[in-house]
Chains A and B, each alone.
Chain A
């Protein structure tokens, strides 16, 4: 089982330690600043809810387990009947993956449906194929309740799927804070943000963080 499910207090402690680390190491990027066209960037700690989702291959999976598979996570929320915002966000993911080249295997792109009753695994696979999603990119559906729990946990729920906005979330490792990009990002911007996060993580590698992470790993 996962830390998120089993030991909320432990997780909170680990999270609190990391927040301090992050606030120091993130420096300027921890405070909000503008990307191109008014896209807003911020960092936050989100508690990944212990919900089960259905992956596009039809398997029932745990959201925390999907996020803690060892790869950095880039996350968005979409639905396949969406005509304007989602295809654009998905195309950005597709091009981001393409630009990563062979490094695309080192990242986990996750897209969670906000219209889960319509978006069956088969529909998600069809959608993913349109954007040439490879093994680095999975789409998720599930019950309405599970999708809502995920949306609420990441503060992207807007009351109705038609009111959704473009949000991209990045996290380099379990326990680390999430970088949140509100608004549209271009593939290059996403790549830059992603690489910057990886670099910053590299710089902040120190015993205390490794300790809390191994605590995590040992528990999973």
Chain B
């Protein structure tokens, strides 16, 4: 009876709610209109169910398909399937989409392909493609969804211009803000200079262009006021200035409203400069270079788990300012410490308190403590002259200024700095390109990491857009990052970048380092490159 009631409520919910269509539920989540998981059969009963059976798993959100090694997952856009080969722009990409001699599908032949794997040419679909025993109504809703898939051009794309926004929160560092904007504006000027004097589209005689070079136009979305007002501001800006994607950006203590907005607006948010990104598995539209301070926290947690016993550490003391990004990172370390059987305590600097000898006096630290400093440069500089006597001292590199962290001299020998990127010596060769570009383009270097990451973001986006024919789909751009980013050689601050379906943090490791000398910025790694 309870089950029947549950079924009844579920059905009423489904009819009343204005949510994803039945076709979309099937395509993206592998859920049948009945609420049951979709099931697909393959030869020898190697079947799939639920999410594994959902079309999106292989054909992707865009419907453009994918390829893995020698296995090609063809595009399944209605606009392509219902035309014979050669009539669709994707047919010019023999790798991804080309199906030789495709006969245009009808609703009936498409249903037969989905149910039995038989296509109009008489060919049978490959082993990877499951067969789906869908009833007529479900099949119709799926085919309707396919017909609408990537059928309209994404907003922010006009005949001659691609519109981008960059989002800056009010608490972002003003110097880094100017540094980032300099890079963005100069990069875009360079790109647009190429079109001066007119660029003709590369055309084909079948009626579509396979590449059009467009102007890039940047809209700076500077947010104001408290975080709870940011999302309405962003929706208003988007309505006024439709953009294709958010390129780079700069955050301070809280990026969550921006992340949430981009997800809701289905707007790609590409490599913003934020040290506390949002980790939300399953979210699609935001891509980050790294997990920032959360990666630092994981590096510390791993080190503690492995070394605490050797060092004789019994307790972890974390120092952070209330409301700053270290607070969230400290939570990760606390949880890990508990799992490793260590006690932990926090030394919290009140949000408005001055960073001075009083607020930073760490009197209760004992010799068997590990201390973690989640402090900004001005706070590090205000540490008491005498370093704490502890079994280990860590400092967040991202918050403290990496190799330029202004630690008082007596602390330099004691502190180990987390470095969630490649160390300066390791990245020196890779950095030749951005540094030379800044020099020739007269971009003053005021915030090197932010500027190098911004330049890297621009390069990656430009590179992937170039391969997108004359069809700019937001989802396709993100899917291209997933497959292509791994092979990039020039990765700026990062040892390597890589994504795959569902991955949204491109660089996954870092170092724990020490200052090599009593003065200067030279760091040496304490252990190897670590992926926690």
Interface residues of A (CB under 8 A from B): 37, 79, 81-85, 87-88, 91-92, 95, 115-118, 120, 143-144, 158-166, 184, 186-188
Contact pattern, B 481-511, Cβ under 8 Å of A = 1, otherwise 0: 0010011000000001010111100001100
Q: Which of B66-74, B239-247, B433-441 lies at the interface?
A: B66-74
Task: State whether the Cβ of B127 lies closer than 8 Å to any Cβ in chain A.
Answer: yes
- Which residues of B from 29 to 85 have beta carbons under 8 Å from A? 42-46, 48, 52, 57-58, 66-71, 73
Q: Is A84 in contact with B508, judged by CB distance below 8 angstroms? A: no
Q: Is B487 in contact with A160, judged by CB distance below 8 angstroms? A: yes
Q: Is A85 in contact with B498, judged by CB distance below 8 angstroms? A: no
- Give which listed residue, B71, B486, B496, B498, contacts A84 with CB less than 8 A: B71
Interface residues of B (CB under 8 A from A): 42-46, 48, 52, 57-58, 66-71, 73, 127-128, 483, 486-487, 496, 498, 500-503, 508-509, 531
Q: Is A84 in contact with B46, judged by CB distance below 8 angstroms? A: no
- Give which listed residue, A84, A143, A160, contacts B73 with CB less than 8 A: A84
Nearest neighbor of B68 in chain A, beta-carbon distance: A85
Task: Determine how close the nearest CB of chain A comes to the CB of B253; give it in whole angstroms.
Answer: 28
Q: Is A81 in contact with B501, judged by CB distance below 8 angstroms? A: yes
Q: Is A162 in contact with B68, judged by CB distance below 8 angstroms? A: yes
Q: What residues on B are CB-neighbors of A118 within 8 Å? A: 498, 500, 503, 508
Q: Is B69 in contact with A163, judged by CB distance below 8 angstroms? A: yes
> In the bound complex, how far is the Cα of B49 from the Cα of A91, in angstroms?
12
Q: What residues on A are CB-neighbors of B48 within 8 Å? A: 87, 91
> In the bound complex, how far is the Cα of B43 from the Cα of A187, in angstroms?
10
Most buried by A among B45, B67, B68, B73: B68
Q: Is B70 in contact with A117, judged by CB distance below 8 angstroms? A: no
Known A-B contacts A83-B501, A161-B500; A184 and B68 likewise in contact (beta carbons under 8 Å)? no
Q: Is A115 in contact with B498, judged by CB distance below 8 angstroms? A: yes
Task: Determine how close the nearest CB of chain B comes to the CB of A180; give it in whole angstroms.
Answer: 15
Q: What residues on A are CB-neighbors of B70 within 8 Å? A: 165
Secondary structure class of chain A's binding surface, majority of residues: loop
Q: What residues on B are CB-neighbors of A164 within 8 Å? A: 68-69
Q: Is A82 in contact with B46, judged by CB distance below 8 angstroms? A: no
Q: What residues on B are CB-neighbors of A161 within 8 Å? A: 486, 498, 500
Q: What residues on B are CB-neighbors of A83 within 8 Å? A: 57-58, 66, 68, 501
If A95-B46, A118-B500, A187-B45 are given as contacts, then 8 extra A-B residue pairs at C-beta distance below 8 Å, sorted by A number, are A81-B502, A81-B503, A83-B58, A84-B128, A85-B69, A158-B69, A186-B43, A188-B44
Q: What residues on A are CB-neighbors of B52 within 8 Å? A: 87
- Give which listed residue, A84, A115, A163, A186, contacts B58 with CB less than 8 A: A84
> In the bound complex, how far is the Cα of B44 from the Cα of A116, in angstroms?
31
Nearest neighbor of B60 in chain A, beta-carbon distance: A83
Q: What residues on A are CB-neighbors of B496 within 8 Å? A: 144
> In the bound complex, how far is the Cα of B58 from the Cα of A203, in angstroms?
44
Q: Is B498 in contact with A95, judged by CB distance below 8 angstroms? A: no
Q: What residues on A are CB-neighbors of B42 within 8 Å? A: 88
Q: Is B45 in contact with A95, judged by CB distance below 8 angstroms? A: yes
Q: What residues on B are CB-neighbors of A88 within 8 Å? A: 42, 46, 127-128
Q: What residues on B are CB-neighbors of A159 within 8 Å? A: 487
Q: Is A115 in contact with B73, judged by CB distance below 8 angstroms? A: no
Q: Is B69 in contact with A166, judged by CB distance below 8 angstroms? A: yes
Q: What residues on B are CB-neighbors of A87 within 8 Å? A: 48, 52
Q: What residues on A are CB-neighbors of B531 within 8 Å? A: 116-117, 120, 143
Q: Is A117 in contact with B68, judged by CB distance below 8 angstroms? A: no
- Give which listed residue, A92, A165, A188, contacts B69 with CB less than 8 A: A165
> In the bound complex, how far is the Cα of B483 from the Cα of A166, in angstroms?
18
Known A-B contacts A115-B498, A160-B486, A162-B500; A82 and B68 likewise in contact (beta carbons under 8 Å)? yes
9 closest residue pairs by CB, A with B: A81-B500, A165-B69, A186-B44, A117-B508, A117-B531, A85-B68, A84-B58, A83-B57, A91-B46
> In the bound complex, how far is the Cα of B68 from the Cα of A87, in angstroms?
12
Q: What residues on B are CB-neighbors of A84 within 8 Å? A: 57-58, 66, 68, 71, 73, 128
Known A-B contacts A37-B127, A117-B498, A161-B486; A85 and B44 likewise in contact (beta carbons under 8 Å)? no
Q: Is B71 in contact with A162, judged by CB distance below 8 angstroms? A: no
> In the bound complex, how far is the Cα of B508 from the Cα of A92, in angstroms?
30
> In the bound complex, how far is the Cα of B43 from the Cα of A213, in angstroms?
39
Q: What residues on B are CB-neighbors of A166 within 8 Å? A: 69, 71
